[in-house]
Amino acid sequence: MNKGERTKKFIIEQSSSLFNTNGYKSTSISEIMKATGLKKGGIFYHFDSKEDLAKASFSYSLITLKENYLQAIKSKENANEQFQAFTDIFMTLFHNDILVGGCPLMNAAIEADDSKILIEDSIKEGFAGLIKMIKAIIEFGKSQNEIDKHVDSEQMAVFIISSMEGALALSRLYKDKRYLDMVIIQIKAILF
pLDDT in tens, 137-159: 999 999 999 999 999 999 999 99
- Beta-carbon count within 10 A of 148 CB: 13
21's enclosing H/E stretch is helix 3-22
Alpha-carbon distance of 42 to 71, in angstroms, equals 34
Please state, in angstroms and as integers, the Cα–Cα distance from residue 115 to each residue in 110, 118, 162, 171, following that order: 9, 10, 21, 25
- Beta-carbon count within 10 A of 156 CB: 20
- Whether the Cβ atoms of residue 119 and residue 110 lie closer than 8 Å to each other: no
Which pLDDT band, with edges at 50, 70 and 90, does 181 fall under? very high
CA atoms within 13 A on the CB side of 41: 0
Q: What is the residue-averaged pLDDT of the chain?
A: 95
Which whole number is the average pLDDT over 169-189? Answer: 97
- Whether the Cβ atoms of residue 125 and residue 107 lie closer than 8 Å to each other: no
Residue 115 scores a pLDDT above 90: no
Alpha-carbon distance of 112 to 146, in angstroms, equals 38
Alpha-carbon distance of 147 to 20, in angstroms, equals 35
Which pLDDT band, with edges at 50, 70 and 90, does 10 fall under? very high
Which pLDDT band, with edges at 50, 70 and 90, does 119 fall under? confident
CA-derived radius of gyration, the chain? 18
Which whole number is the average pLDDT over 76-97? Answer: 96
Which whole number is the average pLDDT over 92-102? Answer: 90
Q: What is the structure's pLDDT at 27?
A: 95
Residue ranges of domains in the chain? 3-191
Question: What is the per-residue pLDDT across 21-31, written as a single tens digit (0 to 9) for each?
Answer: 999 989 999 99
Among residues 171, 17, 147, 13, the alpha carbon closest in space to that of 90 is found at 171
- What global pTM score does this model have? 0.91
CATH topology of domain 3-191: Tetracycline Repressor; domain 2 (1.10.357)
